[in-house]
Structure 1
Amino acid sequence: MHVHIEKSKLLGNKAIQITGSKSESNRALLLQALFSNINIKNLSNSDDTSLMKKALASNAELIDIHHAGTAMRFLTAYFAVQENREVVLTGSSRMKERPIKILVDALRALGADITYLENNGFPPLKIKGKQLNNSSVELKANVSSQYISALLLIAPVLENGLVLELKGTITSVPYIKMTLSLLRQIGVETSFKNKVITIKPAKHPTPKTTIEVESDWSSASYFYSVIALSEIGAELHLKSYKTNSIQGDAALAHIYEEFGVETEYTKNGIQLRKTTDVLERTNINLDLSHAPDIAQTIVVTAFGLHLEANLTGLHTLKIKETDRLLALQTELGKLGADVEVTENSLKLKASKRIEPNIAIATYNDHRMAMAFAPLALKTTITIEDSDVVSKSYPNFWQDLKSLGFNLK
């Protein structure tokens, strides 16, 4: 399915309820599978979370998680500690190209029994669950934080807990802190000092806990872009957001000030307002190593406002659903942008015009589809394979339509 969006204009002040955070939901589900007295509210309705939930409830010997990267990492750790259970964990052809060796090596160091069934270092994996007797391990810290979180989530059921030493520069620290925060919510003792994370074994029984999942900040990014690309005075209310968020992408509130968007925290969410026009000579310089998932949205916003942008800290984008840096360079290029990419950075030169009636390829990547959609406020655009958004935000197109976007 493709979505064709005629050049659109935002309707008056509207309110949108975005689904619960996929990152929080998937962590909470894994903890709930390990500790049955956990209740979860506002769970994400994304494909990734549905796949995670289904996999955790399944007794099958073959578990296929399709494109869900978080589920692949978290379930690798989860099944490694399920005593007397043997599973094969697989995914889509792209998933079989996404590295998992660093996590498997760490789990093996703790005593896990995991075998590669096709290519060394990549899924599918054969996992024989057992009690893991070791409690200390080292891990390269400049890789996906999901490897780190996967280990932290199973740590409370290890006999002696876990001491995890991180080597090198740590990527995506907010996601690690999110995991630690959820562990503390269920009564687990944690500490994170000088690149060493210590998790104590869980007390038995763990206290009865309700985890209320905050709405997804990554998904909010597309509406920040909508307001940034609108005229002064444009407003929008997003429900179920908290001031002290445990999501790293809450950095959006500060980042989008550079695009003239103000964030006001209300009793049950955030009010976004376009307060100032951004001068075309403005340069956007950001290190996104702690929030790489919002890079696509930010660069498209900058392009739509004819700004120059220099984004760094993007090395994890090359191993996502697609090579996101290459995909951005290709698709922005179609629209007339001049984009240079390296292994970990993207440079966008300021451009005077936006080519109309361009079809944007999405590469099986939900964020490509959603990041480019707000450009319809500037020009007519087509988003190919638009149903890919269900991976994280199934209601995205309906919500965009409710704001006045002219979708066909």
Structure 2
Amino acid sequence: MNLYLSGPSSKLLKAAIQITGSKSESNRSLLLRALYSNVTISNISNSDDAEVMEKGLKISKGIVDIHHAGTAMRFLTGYFASQESKEVVLTGSQRMTERPVKVLVDALRNLGADIEYEKNDGYPPIRIKGKKLKNHSVSLPADISSQYISSLLLIAPSLEKGLELNLIGKITSVPYIKMTLALLNEIGVETSFDGNTIIVTPTTSVEPTSLVVESDWSSASYFYSIVALSAVGTVIKLSAYKRNSLQGDSVLSEIYQKLGVYTVFEENTIILSKTADLKPGNLNLELSDAPDIAQTIAVTCFGLGIGCHLTGLHTLKIKETDRLEALDIELSKLGASISVTDKALTLEPTENITADVAIDTYNDHRMAMAFAPLAMKTTIIVNDAEVVSKSYPDYWKDLKQLQFSVKEL
């Protein structure tokens, strides 16, 4: 499905939108519920990723196909490795078979796991024969995807001796690690995070606990972009959000204030207001703690005609696509002057945006959603637009609520 997008006739927007639960929190909570049956969850994400995670956790033998869901691949690898009597082959889409799992598999093997590669060494599909993991100490490079680390932490309380995890080097995506630990604490598991060492205490049972999943801050980023590209006086309300969020992408409220978007927390709602037409000469950001919002920020800056230099993006190379390469290609089509390395992006200021460009999405939900706000400035085409279902199935419907014209080609 390819969509032709144009923005609302008035650039002064007023709307209130309910956003689905965070898939990051949902998938962590679903795994904890699988380990401890008296954990309940509300406001689970309606995304494809959460759906395949929930289905995968119910399988004991045979093929578990998680399609494009990288989080599910990492989390289910740890889960099945620690579950006695379960034997599965964990696989996914063609792109998933190109995304490395070796660091996680090696760590689990060091704990005693029985995991074999079905085809290419270091990559899915993998065959996992669940067993009791008797070792309790393991080391990992600290600059890898935090999902590898969280996969180990989530199963840690169910291990006989718990887990001591030593991270070597500078840690990437710390907020996601802290999110995992906070959820463990919420169900009654004791943890410590001191320097580069994380300890999780073994826990055989927990008290009945209800986990409430906060709405997704990554999804909120696209509305921050829309507000930044709108007229002064625009107000968009998003729910349901917490002032003390577990999600690293909540840093959006600070970043977008530099672009004239002011955030107010009111009960379980964030109110985004365009207060001024701010155009800093160049936006310099280090995003190693929140790399998933890099695409949104780069596109916003391009739409505003300002430059940016974004660093800390090394994990974007192994996402649903090579996101840095994809940004380079697609922004260049629109007339941007952009350069990327393996961990950074630099965009030069430009006032000209080419109309009616077809944006390729590379099976990456964030490519589709990050580029859509540019319809505030020009008409664009989004190819394979249904990819948004991976994290935000209602995205196009919610843009229509803002009076965007969304037409299928």
Band of TM-score, shorter chain:
over 0.9
Cα distance between partner residues in 1 of 2:290 and 2:41:
25
- Partner of residue 358, structure 1: 357
Gaps of 5+ in 1: none
- Partner of residue 119, structure 1: 120
Cα distance between partner residues in 1 of 2:179 and 2:6:
39
Displacement after TM superposition at 1:57 (Å): 1.4
Count the aligned residue pairs.
406
Cα distance between partner residues in 1 of 2:12 and 2:307:
28
Displacement after TM superposition at 1:6 (Å): 2.3
- Residue 182 of structure 2 aligns to a residue whose secondary structure is helix
| 1:261 maps to amino acid | V
Change (3 A) 1:129 1:60: closer
- Partner of residue 24, structure 1: 25
**After the TM superposition, which of the residue ranges 189-198 and 2-11 deviates more from structure 2?**
2-11
Alpha carbons 2:168, 2:196 under 8 Å: kept? yes
- Partner of residue 309, structure 2: 310
1:239-272 per-residue CA deviation (whole Å, 9 max, x = no partner) reads 1100000000000000101110000000121000
1:162-206 per-residue CA deviation (whole Å, 9 max, x = no partner) reads 00000011000000000000000010000000100000001x431
- Partner of residue 144, structure 1: 145
- Partner of residue 377, structure 2: 378
| 1:102 maps to amino acid | V
Alpha carbons 1:85, 1:129 under 8 Å: kept? yes
1:32-88 per-residue CA deviation (whole Å, 9 max, x = no partner) reads 001000000000000000000011112341100010000000000000011011111
| 1:333 maps to amino acid | S
- Residue 57 of structure 2 aligns to a residue whose secondary structure is helix
Cα distance between partner residues in 2 of 1:293 and 1:271:
22
- Partner of residue 233, structure 1: 233
Displacement after TM superposition at 1:11 (Å): 6.0
- Partner of residue 331, structure 1: 330
Cα distance between partner residues in 2 of 1:11 and 1:45:
30
| Residue 13 (str. 1) matches residue 14 (str. 2) | yes
| Residue 65 (str. 1) matches residue 63 (str. 2) | no
Alpha carbons 2:18, 2:238 under 8 Å: kept? yes
| 2:82 maps to amino acid | V
Alpha carbons 1:43, 1:213 under 8 Å: kept? yes
- Partner of residue 173, structure 1: 174
Cα distance between partner residues in 1 of 2:184 and 2:7:
46
Alpha carbons 2:61, 2:86 under 8 Å: kept? no
- Partner of residue 400, structure 1: 399
Alignment map for 1:5-404 (pairs within 5 Å): 5-8=5-8, 9-10=10-11, 12-202=13-203, 204-279=204-279, 282-404=281-403
Alpha carbons 1:10, 1:403 under 8 Å: kept? no
Cα distance between partner residues in 2 of 1:154 and 1:362:
34
Change (3 A) 1:105 1:344: same
**After the TM superposition, which of the residue ranges 11-20 and 394-403 deviates more from structure 2?**
11-20
CA RMSD of aligned residues (A): 0.8
| 2:245 maps to amino acid | S
Provide runs of 4+ in structure 1 moved above 2 Å.
Answer: 6-12
1:220-245 per-residue CA deviation (whole Å, 9 max, x = no partner) reads 00000000000111110001100000
Cα distance between partner residues in 2 of 1:377 and 1:354:
11
Cα distance between partner residues in 2 of 1:21 and 1:67:
17
Cα distance between partner residues in 1 of 2:196 and 2:159:
20
Cα distance between partner residues in 1 of 2:45 and 2:289:
22
1:337-361 per-residue CA deviation (whole Å, 9 max, x = no partner) reads 0110001000000012100111100
Cα distance between partner residues in 2 of 1:290 and 1:209:
29
| 1:75 maps to amino acid | L
Alpha carbons 1:10, 1:404 under 8 Å: kept? no
TM-score (norm 2): 0.98
Cα distance between partner residues in 1 of 2:157 and 2:20:
28
Gaps of 5+ in 2: none
The percentage of counterpart residues that share the same residue type is 62
Cα distance between partner residues in 2 of 1:276 and 1:53:
43
Displacement after TM superposition at 1:141 (Å): 0.8
Alpha carbons 1:366, 1:390 under 8 Å: kept? yes
Cα distance between partner residues in 1 of 2:225 and 2:236:
11
- Residue 277 of structure 2 aligns to a residue whose secondary structure is coil
Alpha carbons 1:11, 1:404 under 8 Å: kept? no
| 1:217 maps to amino acid | W
Displacement after TM superposition at 1:7 (Å): 3.9
Change (3 A) 1:11 1:257: closer
Cα distance between partner residues in 2 of 1:160 and 1:312:
38
